[in-house]
Amino acid sequence: GGSSGIGAATALELARCGARVILATRSARRGEAGPWCPAWDETGNNEVLFMHLDLASLRSVRAFASTFLRQEPQLHLLINNAGVSAGGTTEDGFSLPFQVNHLGHFLLTQLLLERLRSCAPSRVVIVASSAHCAGRLRPESLGRPPSGLFSAFQDYCDSKLANVLHARELATREQGTQVTCYAVHPGFVNTSLFRHAPLWLKPLLLPLAWLLFLDASEGAQVVL
């Protein structure tokens, strides 16, 4: 999720610090030449690569992990940042927000976990949200879109609760391995996430976001 929003601002700062950065993003065009390109050039860091990853496809997640493990011997920091709030169903049969926000990241983390262990000390940072407080996970319908007028918002909240539970359980299981795990709430940040808001809500939400919410670089500080 490094092509826009919090992910792009985070990747940019890591590049400024001299890190080798792998931008895992669905869009090759945005990944290779994002809107922050002029600032990117100023870092002088040539160790920045784009690799295709579509979290809405578990097949794509497995392909990315296979390519990464073959090409990259080191992994010290995995930031699970990508997120959507739109409805819909993925090719794997799950709701789009739940798979992109949680299931795709969960599988990716599991596939890369042994590399994180071998490169320890290392860490996993999951960009969650305080919206997890409104989440409700039901095992019998996990990953299926909830019903109701605000189903898309509930789906988003459910995925964020899954993020937090993932971070807590992973942190517990990795005790003693020097792999640490964190779930962070970046604050209310004005990102492209709001493009998925219902049409009737946008006239209310977008002005509020521009006036009161943090910008992407401010939201990235929590992740960093």
Strands (E), the chain: 21-25, 48-52, 77-80, 122-127, 179-184
Q: Can you tell me the mean pLDDT for 94-108?
A: 96
Q: How many domains does the chain have?
A: 1
Distance CA 52, CA 41 (A): 21
Pull the structure tokens for residue 195.
């493009």
Is residue 156 annotated as part of the catalytic site, yes or no?
A: yes
Domain of 113: which CATH number?
Answer: 3.40.50.720
Are the C-beta atoms of 96 and 89 separated by less than 8 Å? Answer: yes
**195 vs 116, which has greater pLDDT?**
116
pTM for this predicted structure:
0.84
pLDDT single digits (tens) 178-221: 999 999 987 665 565 555 555 555 555 555 555 555 666 777 88
pLDDT higher than threshold 50 for residue 35: no
Distance CA 186, CA 138 (A): 26
Question: To 10 degrees, the CA torsion angle through 61, 66, 68, 70?
Answer: 180
Confidence of residue 102 (pLDDT cuts 50, 70, 90): very high
Neighbour count for residue 122 (Cβ, 10 Å):
22
Rg (CA), the chain: 17
pLDDT single digits (tens) 52-66: 999 999 999 999 999
Query: What average pLDDT does the chain have?
Result: 84
Residue-number span of the structural domain to which 103 is assigned: 5-223
**Percent share of the chain, pLDDT over 90:** 50
Helix residue ranges per DSSP H, 17-133: 28-32, 37-42, 58-71, 96-98, 104-118
pLDDT single digits (tens) 147-179: 776 777 888 899 999 999 999 999 999 999 999
DSSP 141: G
Question: Which residue among the candidates 156, 161, 174, 220 is catalytic per the annotation?
Answer: 156
